[in-house]
Structure 1
């Protein structure tokens, strides 16, 4: 017997993430194939770091994901206005029907959704079907791709892991092989059969790596590894019409996009009520062109915004005092009609040490002592004050505020105490030489390299970490790299230490606890951690809904991380988004990356 989505998911904690009825998404379809966007409405935006490419199965950085989310579509998305985040259908006709045992999901697709026009389709309209999603899910497991997102479905869907194992043996993924876990009931109906209940599956199907990609596009434009990083073709509201790598991108309205009617609801917040009054009933998207520049230097972004060269810009901590006082815009900005959308990002920026590195990695007592001493010498509050101008909050727990599973009362066993850190290094044989720096227990020089971005922010972080290492008499090597190079080296376990930011893909603690799961090495496990006790508990949490029982296991897992110290939680930053007066109805969403299909711009201003 099949139950509705809500009857199938009994966990009360999910009520914050899912809709309370089987109504369609608040953005109802307008007229099929008639994108209402006005080509004369232009939004100028800025990236604070370089993009890497636009293949949903490969992309893992925030800035590329913004483009992916604009061009491609997942089955589900999030309500633009709801806080906490609430799941709603996107290309799906409704939220899933879930079997009573929680292992079978039946999902129906809206009809009449088309991919953007592209020569690969031979001049014909190419309709989206459930077969495209099945192909895209299998593609994440194609060994030629080495996708960093296999963890989303790994061990979950019947037959998918086995298909991937066969592909590794033969060197070729057989996309035409039917597997029991991805049952195409008909052209518009997909039934997913799970090996065990997955209480996060709906949110996973809203994450951009699960976007629908057309097989013809991959066959035509894919490289030797079957990646399509430079020619994205999706069903979303925009197309990538221009790209100068690492410099600028242009999105223009997809002419065949079906359009939607803005029909979100507001709570008691007056600002939300104002947004609803301004936008309710409008066909969406309204903005016909998005012009994006890459500007890595903070001061350059602020100057460009002040000169009215940008409509929307992120102002990070180093610049915040010039614009914000006590969390609000300074009068000289507010009096000009500038708008501020300020949130605490659902993120952790966490220092880690490469557990495969011969100097800082490993599980011997002296290696654990070394990492723990560095962690105790790190003054997170000083970094927040000096580097981020108090535009962040310190974390004791690896799940940040706003995410299911966050514990505001948790206290880490690792606290700032450089005296104890020095005593610990003394005890385990890291002696201070005549030059004032410590050596390894075997007497060889001890140098630990910290990697950061090449911009001024990265330089500030490096200077702060040099102070950390100086407190405990360890010589630090500085390694400044471009953003894409850091991501590549990190995935290959080639960085020794770094502060890695991770912003939520979906609003559940699993998205953060997976960062330290052994099998996710070369995916999102940047520190290349593999702790058997932790991995066993993590696998156990995968079979549990959010709630006190899972929280108890999370606490045990965090204590294990503290014992071995492969990383420490760090901090979560405030996100300050400035909007010019002409921007109508903008509100930064905690999960969505690209909100421009939900707000408007007054082209007369």
Structure 2
């Protein structure tokens, strides 16, 4: 897995709040929003079918999404959770991990760290081939870093963490033609890559640490394409190739895809004859789940109440590493410097205004109403699934219209005759909110928030006049459109909880564009030499969470359990990090 997928972009299409994804949409879409008393505490993260597998079967995968998928099938270029879900059957990480997400031997490549030499040595398994029969080689590993760092691709994956690689910043700036810190001792077609770091960091042995990219790309397949043309090329959009257990054979843009076994796969022989992937409207998902129309379909709590007693499907699930949030725009991205630049005069750069918005949002009530038993209000930006790294002493922003009004009054936001507040300088205040269109639960949640903000005198309007298509939302938020003051989104995080790639000065994913000395200090402390002391590192994580809670540049909102309806014929399916699609089979046709 690679650090941080945008659950936000499509996460909200279905739940209006979480998944970046567990995989893009764990939403409820029923017309009814009454609470169920469904108990999800005994749900397992895997299937328990022990019957004999059958051959020649087709596995149907349903993906909840209110919008067509974007179709950027590249780990290095896509930030969309649904795009990642489309290619999950073919797209395999370089490195194998254990159940704690620590790197272990036995994957497409092995990795070995040398703290004294400040290197990571990657050794490729000689049996690994791309689905076109070409071998995975060193250049494929190195070229992934080039794609990310080359300014021509405008990749959102180029982060401050990756700048810890020697020569990465120079390559990105265009002052060097190669990344000097990535060495291929046996040449482009060899099986070894040595990465040289400026500093070794805590967590480098864990997947998703942000300092080591965990994918490779087929250089032989992409080398003829200019970097600025890659994202629109047929090799990325229509005919991507990978080295995982399956390969894509059909694609209906934005709607569906089909996969068959990769005959060159180095690992266990895939057991399914075909896998089909289809986008499912969130409003149709509960009925589809109950009818077992798909072998696997993400569901929400209302859907769970409908399917939990079904004799056709079993529900599997887990506590997610994902969350949803509200972000406030307080600056711009400077592509020349590769840094976020905060504007002290930005409309939303007033802590009292941001906190007032948070206190007016009845997130707890929304969770109880729309996501009973499986949804809750999140207090910090490190979810509970991260255990000791999450600061349980921090309390979520309580629902208090009075506290919100008091904050606005003291900050000089005065109410006019129309009931709406002005800026402290007396000018008109209109807050533009970018949100993605979703299902009826999403609409109800948005209406709840809008009514609350109106009660405290804030004139909040939708960017563009209405909830947006996911692609339009992504374009507006990522490119700092002038008519976006705040937006809701979410992240699906890796197990290593470093936050540099999401909230640092040089993080493209820092869509709020906030940059403060304190935030920078705490982020650096998390991955400093001192942070090799786990107690010190935990303390810095806790201090950062408290600081972010106090400043409210980002407001965590919903935390929702990942649930999937799986037909009873499915065998070997697991949500654990050690799982593979090669293990999945069915026991009847």
Please give the range of the TM-score, normalised by the shorter of the 2 chains.
0.7 to 0.9
**Is 1:143 aligned to 2:128, yes or no?**
no
- Counterpart CA distance in 2 for 1:354 and 1:178 is 33
Identify the match of residue 103 of structure 2 among 69, 87, 91: 87
Distance 1:209 1:39, change over 3 A: farther
**Is 1:110 aligned to 2:128, yes or no?**
no
Identify the match of residue 380 of structure 1 among 357, 363, 385: 363
Give the deviation of 1:566 after TM superposition.
Answer: 0.8
Instruction: Please provide the CA RMSD for this pair.
Output: 3.0
Counterpart for residue 312 of structure 1: 296
- Counterpart CA distance in 2 for 1:541 and 1:316 is 34
Distance 1:250 1:365, change over 3 A: closer
- Counterpart CA distance in 1 for 2:225 and 2:501 is 32
Give the deviation of 1:561 after TM superposition.
Answer: 2.1
Counterpart for residue 449 of structure 2: 465
Mapped contact 2:348–2:354 kept (Cα < 8 A): no
- Counterpart CA distance in 1 for 2:160 and 2:504 is 13
Counterpart for residue 214 of structure 1: 218
Mapped contact 2:319–2:562 kept (Cα < 8 A): yes
Give the deviation of 1:451 after TM superposition.
Answer: 2.4
- Counterpart CA distance in 2 for 1:416 and 1:547 is 35
Give the deviation of 1:445 after TM superposition.
Answer: 2.7
Mapped contact 1:76–1:202 kept (Cα < 8 A): no
Please give the secondary structure, in 2, of the residue aligned with 1:197: coil
Alignment of 1:206-605 (within 5 A): 210-220=214-224, 224-227=228-231, 228-260=236-268, 284-297=269-282, 299-323=283-307, 329=308, 331=309, 333=310, 336-356=311-331, 362=345, 367-403=350-386, 405-412=388-395, 414-456=397-439, 457-478=441-462, 479-494=466-481, 495-504=484-493, 506-510=494-498, 512=499, 514-520=501-507, 523-543=508-528, 544-545=531-532, 547-589=534-576, 595-604=580-589
Give the deviation of 1:416 after TM superposition.
Answer: 3.1
Q: Which has the higher contact order (CA 8 A, sep 6+)?
A: 2
Give the deviation of 1:466 after TM superposition.
Answer: 0.8
Distance 1:381 1:414, change over 3 A: closer
Give the deviation of 1:477 after TM superposition.
Answer: 0.8
**Is 1:65 aligned to 2:52, yes or no?**
no
Distance 1:154 1:87, change over 3 A: closer
Please give the secondary structure, in 2, of the residue aligned with 1:597: helix
Give the deviation of 1:91 after TM superposition.
Answer: 4.0
Query: With structure 1 as the length reference, what TM-score do the two structures score?
Result: 0.77
Give the deviation of 1:455 after TM superposition.
Answer: 2.0
**Is 1:51 aligned to 2:34, yes or no?**
no
Counterpart for residue 161 of structure 1: 169
Mapped contact 2:103–2:207 kept (Cα < 8 A): no
In structure 1, the gaps of 5 or more residues are: 1-36, 118-124, 168-172, 261-283, 324-328
- Counterpart CA distance in 2 for 1:576 and 1:370 is 35
Counterpart for residue 42 of structure 1: 58
Give the deviation of 1:370 after TM superposition.
Answer: 0.8
Alignment of 1:127-206 (within 5 A): 127-151=135-159, 153-166=161-174, 174=177, 177=178, 179-185=180-186, 187-204=190-207
State how many pairs are aligned: 511
Mapped contact 2:160–2:506 kept (Cα < 8 A): no
Give the deviation of 1:398 after TM superposition.
Answer: 0.9
Counterpart for residue 7 of structure 2: none
Mapped contact 1:583–1:602 kept (Cα < 8 A): yes
Give the deviation of 1:209 after TM superposition.
Answer: 6.3
Q: Any runs of at least 4 consecutive aligned residues in structure 1 with deviations exceeding 6 A, and if so which?
A: 205-209, 357-361, 363-366
Please give the secondary structure, in 1, of the residue aligned with 2:159: helix
Mapped contact 2:348–2:485 kept (Cα < 8 A): no
Deviations 1:454-475 (A, max 9, x none): 2224323311211331331212
In structure 2, the gaps of 5 or more residues are: 1-52, 333-340
Please give the secondary structure, in 2, of the residue aligned with 1:128: coil
Please give the secondary structure, in 1, of the residue aligned with 2:237: coil
Distance 1:383 1:361, change over 3 A: farther
Give the deviation of 1:191 after TM superposition.
Answer: 1.7
Query: With structure 2 as the length reference, what TM-score do the two structures score?
Result: 0.79
- Counterpart CA distance in 2 for 1:572 and 1:435 is 36
Please give the secondary structure, in 1, of the residue aligned with 2:318: strand
Distance 1:148 1:595, change over 3 A: same
